[in-house]
Structures are given as C-alpha cells and as structure tokens.
Amino acid sequence: MLDLWYKSAVIYCVDVEIFMDGNGDGIGDFEGLSGRIDYLAGLGINCIWLMPFYPTPNRDNGYDVTDYYSVDPRLGTLGDFVEFMRKAANHGIRVIVDLVINHTSTEHPWFKAACQDKNSKYHDYYVWSEEKPADAEEGIIFPGYQESTWTYSEEAGAYYFHRFYEHQADLNIGNPQLREELYKIMGFWLELGVSGFRVDAAPFLIELKGIEHTADEEDPYQYLGDIREFLSWRRGDAIILAEANVSLDKLPKYFGDGDRMQMLFGFIVNQQLMLSLARESAAPLIKGLKALPQIPNTGQWAQFVRNHDELSLDKLSESEQTEILSAFDQNKEDVWIYDRGLRRRFPPLVDGDPRRMRLAYSLMFSLPGTPVLLSGEEIGMGDDLSQKQREAIRTPMQWSSEPNGGFSTAASDQLIRPVIDEGQYGYTELNVLSQRRDPDSLLNWMERLIRMRKECSEFGWGQWEIIETDNPSVFAHRCDWQGKTVVAVHNLAKDPCSVTLPLSQEGDRSTHWLDLLADQRYQSIRQSESPIELEGYGYRWLRISHSKEPE
C-alpha cells in the first residue's frame, strides 16, 4: 500500500516572525519556535508549513526573497533552522516550506545584476519589455495598492513584469538556466530535511508571460511535472502543496495523472463553505464539493477555514459576496480588500460564538482532504483592523497574559507588530495558557478534534459521498475506506433539529452507530435508521459499526 503520509497529516502554518521570540528583540525566531515544538506536538499536529523565512526586505511578509539559500538573520541562522528541523523530527513532525519562485524581491542580487547589465546571464531570468505593454493595467492582484504589472527600471532602460507588487519582479521560467537554479534551491532544502514545499502563486509561476514565443501552451503545466519529477528523485516521499486559486476546469491540470502536484488548497470549497455558514444552508457546500473534479489516487485537497491572506471570495457572485458581508454583519469599508475578500480572521465573523467556531472547524476537519490550520486558530485569535491590509490577521501569537501576550520580552513598541491587547480577543482574555487550564476551551477542544481526526483515516483517504437529508440546513456526508465508514452530520442552523439518514444498504439489524465526536453528549443511536438529534450549530461524527452491540 502506498504510504501517502500527507493524507494522514494535520498541517499547521507558522509565520516564524510572529510566533515566538526567543532572544527578546521583538521578532519571532527559530529559537522561539523550537521552544514551542512540544506545544505543537501536544496539540497533535504532525506537519508544520513554514511561511517564508528567507532574507527579505519584508515588504510582503517575506514573499519578497533576496536569498533562497539562507535564513533571514532576524529569525536566526541556518544552524537554528537545522536545530528546529531536528527537534520537529524527534517529535514526528514533518516540515514543509514555502517556495516563492514566481518572483524575487527587486533587491535580489539577480535582479540587480539583471538591471545593471543586459548581457548578464541574469537579465533573462526576468521578463522585460522595451515599451510599456498595452495590458499593463490588467491582471492586477492587489487593486488599490498596485498600479500596474509593468514598471520601468531606469537602470535597465526597460519595463519589467511583476504580477504582484512592483518590488516583486517575476522570474522568467522559460529560461533553462533559471530552471536549473530553482532545482538547486529545492535540492538544498530537501537536503536539510524538509518533506516538501508549498508552492506560492502556482498559476503565475507557469504563466506564459515572456515565453509565448518559445513554448506551446502545455509546456508551462509540464513544468509542474518536471518539478515533481525532480522532487521525487531527490526525496521519494516529498510533496508539493500548490497555492492555485483557479477555476474548476483548470484544477485537473495541476494534478496531472498523479505526476504533478500532490496537493492543492481547496479554495473553491472554502468559499462555498463560507457561503454555507453565512446562509445556514448546506446547499453551497454541497454544490462546491460536487463540482470538484475527480483527482488521482495520490492527489489530495488541503482544506482550511482561514489562511494568512485575505479570505478570498473571488469565485462567488457579487450578490453572494454581499450576502456574506451582511450575514456576518461586516462593515465593507473596514474589511473588504483587493475587490475580492475579507481581511479578517474567522472568529470575529461569528462574533466569537464558540458553537459556530466549532461547527466550522468540525466541518473543515471532516471534509475530504487534509486539514490545514493557521497558527492562532486553535485558540480562536482575532484580528486588528487598525493594521494595514492583510497585516490585520498577522498579529503575534498570544501565549499568556504576560506583557506582549508572552510572545516577547522586548518593550511593546519594539515588537514586529502590536499584540492584540483589548476587547474579547485581547491577550489578557484570550491566550494559550488560560485555555490550557480550561477543559472546555477551544484549545482543548481542538486537541480532541485533531486526535479524533487522526483516528478517522476515512476522511483523509476514503471515498466520499454526500448524504441527502430532508433538512436543508444539515450537511451530512460519509467517507468509506478499507471496509470502514465514518459519517459526519452538521447542523448549520441555529435551531435544533433531527434528521434521518437514508443509509438503507446498512439497514440490517446488526448495524448501529458509534459516537466519535459531538458538540455535546447525545443519546446514543441504537439503529442506523433512527433519527439523529442535533443541537443548533451541532455536529456529530459517527462510525457505522457492524459489530454486535454490547449488552
């Protein structure tokens, strides 16, 4: 049997600079992170995704790299990185790292050399035009904060292409020497023990820009296959988790026949999940799941509630977007960004209602795929809308009620970003330490959720199927794997209900339900055809058991 570890993974995303400051300078670092591996192991996660930690002018949270072979000195040294890797491995935690190779910072030595000398081999690492292309105002990723996709370099005497901010010059993947260099970068981190990469901005990485004349349309996708081939030769069990928020018809190309990316984030499902939660109706989520293409056996969806970016609703209609804003009672002016999403964490959308938060995470953890948590979600952290753009959701981790939330011993005005210090999400109210002491806290609940998820491999590996119910607010599905079945039932609405699931094929007398996880203690269900009770926003994970019931 294939040992596809990522199908049994619970991934936890860490931005080192805001996680834990080990040396008291106000910036999170590898020393601090290493000191918290025990905490993460206790939570039960088994794979860390590290956001960019490379040297950077940090104008886009590290997604603007100036050296792919090193660690940002503010965060530590390569030595600290290796210590961290060792500690993670000792706890059975794998590490994947962000691979930001669609673009470099304009301060990267390659870009500098490219500007200085047109004959330098680095010039062709980037995408140039003598004239400003007519489409320079199209395809802008950060509307409101980015004016163009082509910017003039005085030094080079030409325009360079940048899909993102103007300080992030796009690389020309049509250049074979650059491709070699990118393999070298992957090889470097694989040697240091990483289990794979989160490939940033995958659709743009394979854009035809700059290689229109040299390649046919299939070639860019084939490049994903080349990357995968390289990866698998170097390390057989390494994976690529691609960030590709693309339309449904394009998704299969990223998986290929199982010879390209192993994992893709479930952006479409995420957006439909938000609509379902807002509407208190199962229909959008069902629609989103049913629309997904069949994926290869080795393929997997990465499910999430929130990531470190805006909550993108770009695949929904304008009226659906408006519906979400009003259902969650959001003031568009404060929260809406880039014409497509919300710069908020999830708890503030549901006013910190513990039932609705647990409902959302119970759903996410049971959807077909692998769950991905953003650090801070396990304690229900909030956001700080006074911070600019997406930084609102990138505040330091709240460890305790000590100054700076225990994140750092530096003076508060020295912190990389202010800690949330007021209201219900302030660190004195909401932090790891106090939640550890409270058996009913979100943190302890999340730990139990993760434990149960790991015991239900059906969700990560199995065949899934939507179960139709007679209640439009109830989302029910089953996952079957190696002769075992789990069923999850979620009530998206605030009123209690009762549903009967049509599982006739299991309807023989010896079948009954085992309760695995639920929002409260329910009466156990003796027979599979009996009605299932659910509280408002309630959920139940059940296993179909064919064994004889204990007397």
Query: Side by side, which strands form the sheet with 484-491?
Result: 463-467, 474-481, 484-491, 539-545, 512-518
> Segment 289-328, which members bind ligand GLC (CB under 6 A)?
309
Catalytic residue, chosen from 200, 447, 506, 519, is 200
Binding flags for ligand GLC, 84-123, as an x/- string (CB under 6 A): ----------------x-----------------------
CA distance 357 to 345: 11
Q: Phi first, then psi: give them for residue 105, nearest 5 degrees.
A: -65, 150
* CA distance linking residue 127 with residue 178, whole number of Å: 12
The interface mask with ligand GLC, positions 52-71, x = CB under 6 A, is --------xx-x--------
Largest pairwise CA distance in the chain? 84
| Shortest-Cβ-distance residue relative to ligand GLC | 63
**Residue 384 in contact with ligand GLC, rule: CB under 6 A:** no
**Tokens 């393999």 — which residue?**
183
Nearer to Ca ion, 15 or 458 (CB): 15
State the minimum distance, in angstroms, from the CB of residue 541 to ligand GLC: 31
Which of 359, 330, 333 shows the shortest CA–CA distance to 442?
359
Minimum Å gap between C-beta 17 and ligand GLC is 13
**Binder among 20, 96, 97, 201 for ligand GLC (CB under 6 A):** 201
Asked about 200 being catalytic, the answer comes back as yes
Choose, by CB under 5 A, the member of 11, 18, 20, 27 that binds Ca ion. 27
> Considering the rule CB under 6 A, would residue 164 count as an interface residue with ligand GLC?
yes
* CB of residue 51 to ligand GLC, shortest distance in Å: 8
By a kind-dependent CB cut-off of 5 to 8 A, residue 21 interacts, out of ligand GLC, Ca ion, none, with Ca ion
Enclosing H/E stretch for 198: strand 196-199
Of 27 and 379, CB closest to Ca ion: 27
- Closer by beta carbon to ligand GLC, 45 or else 201: 201
Distance CA 49, CA 372 (A): 9
* CB contact at 8 A, 202 and 224: yes
Helix (H/G/I), strand (E/B), else coil: 88: helix
- Give the Å distances, CA to CA, from 157 to 114, 160, 165: 11, 10, 19
For 302, which DSSP code?
E
Q: At closest approach, how far in Å is the CB of 15 from ligand GLC?
A: 10
Relative to beta strand 336-337, strand 341-342 is antiparallel
Rounded to a whole number of angstroms, the minimum distance from the CB of residue 543 to ligand GLC is 36
Rounded to whole angstroms, the Cα distance separating 474 from 200 reads 35
Q: Determine which residue in the list 23, 177, 463, 510 makes contact with Ca ion, applying CB under 5 A.
A: 23
Among 7, 11, 18, 29, binds Ca ion (CB under 5 A): 29
Q: Name the strand (E) or helix (H) holding 370.
A: strand 370-374
* Residue in 21, 72, 170, 243 annotated catalytic: 243
Q: Which amino acid type is present at position 464?
A: W
Are 531 and 471 in contact by the 8 Å Cβ rule? The answer is no
Residue 29 interacts with, from ligand GLC, Ca ion, none (CB under 5-8 Å by kind): Ca ion
* Residue 259 contacts which entry, ligand GLC, Ca ion, none (Cβ below 5-8 A, type-dependent): none
Which residues, 241 to 260, sit near ligand GLC by CB under 6 A? 243
489: its two tokens: 């039932």
Distances (CA, A) of 314 to 263, 268, 275, 523: 21, 9, 12, 42
Cβ 98 to ligand GLC shortest distance, Å: 8
CA distance linking residue 31 with residue 80, whole number of Å: 6
477-496 binders of ligand GLC (CB under 6 A): none
Judged by beta carbon, residue 409 or residue 457, the one nearer Ca ion is: 409
243 among known catalytic residues: yes
170 binds ligand GLC (CB under 6 A): no
Q: How many residues bind ligand GLC (CB under 6 A)?
A: 9
Is the Cβ of residue 59 or residue 235 nearer to ligand GLC in the bound state? 59
Residue closer to ligand GLC, measured from CB, 100 or 350:
100
User: How far apart, in whole angstroms, are the C-alpha atoms of residue 225 and residue 477?
Assistant: 33
CA distance 450 to 6: 15
For Ca ion, the binding residues (CB under 5 A) are 21, 23, 25, 27, 29
Query: Annotated active-site positions, please?
Result: 200, 243
Q: Which residues bind ligand GLC (CB under 6 A)?
A: 60-61, 63, 100, 164, 200-201, 243, 309
